[in-house]
């Protein structure tokens, strides 16, 4: 784990490198940024990043704890915590690391962050970038039942903390109608309480609530329908998604020239439910981007 100064706080990140990536200069290394969803952390994606690094050894994968999340939470300064602010955080981190990504992969909230990163550059990107948006849409997000993030955030914000144990959290959530899988996943966001008794949240719930409201309110259809030169945007829809993908959403995405890939045998947690299937969908673009990158000898400026 490493930290880099971003705006007024330190952003926590790590690099997962393929066997052939570590010997290449940073500007010549094929780089993908992988962004987690709301109430997640980079730890949720380490296993999948290693999977991709094993299949694509010339690539490196940058995993980030977004503001208010994971190990970035304690260092996040007070302020307006929005989806756009999250996108700018990651862009500033890339500047600091002098990395020039060929691919952005974002799950759920992270998918909209990836799209917002692209939108910052206006009409033309400094280099071609493949954007993968995993199980979210550019506009309104509709719950199809299950553990809707808004409901989870509201419920856990009212829970007295610290809580006695992970089992106590699971029992409380399941007893209030949330799924066992969702409740178990929420325990990954617990850490020992400062006083040494019980467990507390590792994230900033107030900031996360602001971020999720921003996620719901941010409409990125204009980006999908008129992307900057150099941006290629693909969507992955989980077959058993907890979010409702309307027929009109898919038709509108395809009419804009973007693609929607159906990931079979997966719920919203695509990288956990079917990592092999997801890697198979992403694989051709990583190979294609890697080939294109070898032909690009220019140093790219990602100044914003």
- In-domain check, residue 213: no
Strand-pairing partners, residue 9, are 6
Number of domains present in the structure of the chain: 2
* 86-141 pLDDT per residue, tens: 999 999 999 999 888 999 999 999 999 999 999 988 888 888 999 999 999 999 77
- In-domain check, residue 103: yes
Cβ neighbour number for residue 219 with a 10 Å cutoff: 11
pLDDT above 60 (res 298): no
Average the pLDDT over each of 36-40, 145-149, 251-255 and give the range with the smallest value. Answer: 145-149
229 lies in the same domain as 130: yes
pLDDT at 23: 62
pLDDT at 117: 96
Tell me, rounded to whole angstroms, the distance of Cα 114 from its chain centroid: 7
Predicted TM-score of the model (pTM)? 0.90
pLDDT above 50 (res 272): yes
pLDDT at 24: 57
Domain around 140: 2-146+218-294
* 46-72 pLDDT per residue, tens: 999 999 999 999 999 999 999 999 999
> What percentage of residues in the chain have a pLDDT greater than 70?
90
Residue 267 tokens, joined: 């719920």
pLDDT above 70 (res 169): yes
138 lies in the same domain as 235: yes
18 lies in the same domain as 110: yes
170 lies in the same domain as 84: no
- In-domain check, residue 304: no
66 lies in the same domain as 202: no
- In-domain check, residue 212: no
117 lies in the same domain as 133: yes
- In-domain check, residue 300: no
112 lies in the same domain as 55: yes
134 lies in the same domain as 120: yes
Q: What is the CATH number of the domain that holds 58?
A: 3.40.50.1820
- In-domain check, residue 115: yes
194 lies in the same domain as 245: no
E-assigned strand segments in the chain: 2-6, 9-17, 30-35, 59-65, 103-107, 124-134, 190-192, 199-201, 229-238, 259-263
pLDDT at 299: 43
* 182-240 pLDDT per residue, tens: 888 899 899 999 888 999 999 999 999 999 999 999 999 999 999 999 999 999 999 98
Handedness of CA 53, 16, 90, 278 (dihedral sign): positive
- In-domain check, residue 301: no
Most confident of 98-112, 132-146, 237-251, 278-292: 98-112
The candidate with the shortest Cα–Cα distance to 106, out of 86, 72, 132, 85, is 132
- In-domain check, residue 302: no
pLDDT above 80 (res 300): no
Domain boundary (163, 185, 206) is at 206
136 lies in the same domain as 241: yes
Taking the CA atoms of residue 217, residue 221, residue 223 and residue 224 in that order, the dihedral angle to the nearest 10 degrees is 140
């Amino acid at each position: 784990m490493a930290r880099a100064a971003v705006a007024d706080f330190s952003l926590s990140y790590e690099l997962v490198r393929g066997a052939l990536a570590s010997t290449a200069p940073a500007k010549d290394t094929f780089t993908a940024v992988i962004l987690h969803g709301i109430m997640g952390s980079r730890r949720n994606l380490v296993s999948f990043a290693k999977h991709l690094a094993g299949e694509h050894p010339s690539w490196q994968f940058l995993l980030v704890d977004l503001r208010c999340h994971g190990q970035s939470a304690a260092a996040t300064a007070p302020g307006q915590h929005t989806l756009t602010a999250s996108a700018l955080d990651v862009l500033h981190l890339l500047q600091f690391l002098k990395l020039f990504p060929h691919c952005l992969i974002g799950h759920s909230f992270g998918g909209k962050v990836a799209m917002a990163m692209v939108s910052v550059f206006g009409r033309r990107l400094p280099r071609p970038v493949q954007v993968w948006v995993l199980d979210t849409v550019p506009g309104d997000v509709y719950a199809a039942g299950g553990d809707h993030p808004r409901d989870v955030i509201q419920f856990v914000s009212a829970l007295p903390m610290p809580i006695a144990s992970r089992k106590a959290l699971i029992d409380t959530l399941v007893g209030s109608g949330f799924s066992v899988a969702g409740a178990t996943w929420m325990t990954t966001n617990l850490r020992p309480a400062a006083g040494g008794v019980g467990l507390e949240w590792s994230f900033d719930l107030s900031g996360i609530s602001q971020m999720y409201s921003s996620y719901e309110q941010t409409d990125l259809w204009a980006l999908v329908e008129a992307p900057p030169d150099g941006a290629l945007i693909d969507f992955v829809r989980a077959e058993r998604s907890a979010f409702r993908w309307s027929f009109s959403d898919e038709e509108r995405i395809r009419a804009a020239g973007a693609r929607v890939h159906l990931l079979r045998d997966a719920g919203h947690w695509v990288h956990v439910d079917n990592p092999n299937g997801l890697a198979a969908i992403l694989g051709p673009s990583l190979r294609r981007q890697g080939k294109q990158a070898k032909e690009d000898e220019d140093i790219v400026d990602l100044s914003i």
